[in-house]
Every structure is written in C-alpha cells, then in structure tokens.
C-alpha cells in the first residue's frame, strides 16, 4: 500500500524512536529535490513541508510507512546560509545517526541527474564507502533531460554505482517512483 505519514522531527539523538522498525534514510544536498521526492512517494503535495519550516530543516524527520518502516529525511547539506553553530549541531546529529543507528538498513542518496555528484556529495560518498551498507543512488529532476541524455547518463552512473543500485527520478511526473519502493522492499526482505 505504501501509506507514508509524518511521524516526528528529531533534534537530538536521544529522541529517536524506540528500537523496532527498520529505517531507510534519505540524503542529499539542499535543493536536490528531497522534499519533492518525499511528497511524491507519499502521494501528497505538502507532507514534507514540515521539514522546511524554520528550525526543522536541521532535524531528522521521520516518516512512517504502513507501520512497517521509517523513512528518515536527513538535513540537506551544502546550504550556505546557516550559522556555524547550526551547522555543527546538525553535523553532530547526522554523524551520530549514521554511525550508531542499529535500525538503519539502507540509504537513499540523491544527486541531480543533470550533473551527478558535486562538491559536498563527495564527503557523503566517502562515508558510504566506509559504511558498506545498501545504497540506492537516485538521480532527481530527470524530466529536465532528454531521453537520449538520460540513457547516456545512466550508462555512466551504472558503471560507477552498479545497475541495481541506481534509478532516475522525477517528482514532477512521478516516473520511476516504483523503482524506489521495490528497492526498499528488496533490501528489507
């Protein structure tokens, strides 16, 4: 069914939900299309708006999927207009989550389909390599590319990340969202 509902915002590692459900986190630069992707997966226009209200942009935002799993929206990185203190706070929160959370079963990493990974993304890629867990690389805003360019880029990305670990995605058309759901259910099986 895939009914996705907002569960809670977590500002401190002490506030994560009690152990139980598996978690899949979603990571990417700010503006990559993370909120749009969550709205699209939820089939609702504004569910991820909560993560964009002031103060909540630096929290881990938990979404419940059919009481079976949590999707955890990590704060978008690479946004220049935040204070040093705020940046330190969310860096600590995210690092603690990524490095210690036992429930974390997979990570969805977003890149803009038009250019793939850029500057701040390489820090995340380095962490992913050292982590060694399940990762789906999602290339967002794919509607901005021609079918030809998409096919070319998919070949490049496939070489880098492996065919079974990549998908294009468009929040505008909803295309490829079933690839995301099937990856989630495949890794949680």
Which residues here bind ligand GDP, judged by CB under 6 A?
28, 30-36, 76, 140-141, 143-144, 170-172
Q: How far is the CB of 52 from ligand GDP (least distance, A)?
A: 7
- Kindly state the tokens that stand for 156: 């490049």
- In whole angstroms, give the CA distance from residue 5 to residue 159: 35
Name which of 102, 69, 99 is nearest 189 in CA terms: 69
Residue closer to ligand GDP by CB (options 33, 106) is 33
Q: How far is the CB of 40 from ligand GDP (least distance, A)?
A: 8
Q: How far is the CB of 48 from ligand GDP (least distance, A)?
A: 7
Residue closer to ligand GDP by CB (options 103, 135) is 135
Residue closer to ligand GDP by CB (options 32, 128) is 32
Name which of 70, 69, 62, 78 is nearest 111 in CA terms: 78
Judge whether 139 and 112 are in contact, CB under 8 Å.
yes
Q: How far is the CB of 171 from ligand GDP (least distance, A)?
A: 4
Host H or E run for residue 65: strand 60-65
Residue closer to ligand GDP by CB (options 74, 103) is 74
Name the DSSP letter for residue 43: T
């Amino acid at each position: 069914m895939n009914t996705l509902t907002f569960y809670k915002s977590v500002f401190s590692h002490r506030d994560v939900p009690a152990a139980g459900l598996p978690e899949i986190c979603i990571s990417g630069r700010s503006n990559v299309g993370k909120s749009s992707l969550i709205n699209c997966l939820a089939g609702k226009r504004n569910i991820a708006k909560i993560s964009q209200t002031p103060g909540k942009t630096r929290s881990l935002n938990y979404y419940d999927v059919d009481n079976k799993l949590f999707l955890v929206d990590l704060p978008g990185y690479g946004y220049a207009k935040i204070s040093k203190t705020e940046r330190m706070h969310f860096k600590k929160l995210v690092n603690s989550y990524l490095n210690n959370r036992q429930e974390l079963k997979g990570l969805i990493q977003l890149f803009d389909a038009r250019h793939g990974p850029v500057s701040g993304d390489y820090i995340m890629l380095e962490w992913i390599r050292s982590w060694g867990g399940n990762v789906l690389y999602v290339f967002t805003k794919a509607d901005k590319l021609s079918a030809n360019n998409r096919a070319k880029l998919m070949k490049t990305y496939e070489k880098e990340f492996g065919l079974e670990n990549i998908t294009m995605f468009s929040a505008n058309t909803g295309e490829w969202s079933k690839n995301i759901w099937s990856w989630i259910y495949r890794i949680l099986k």
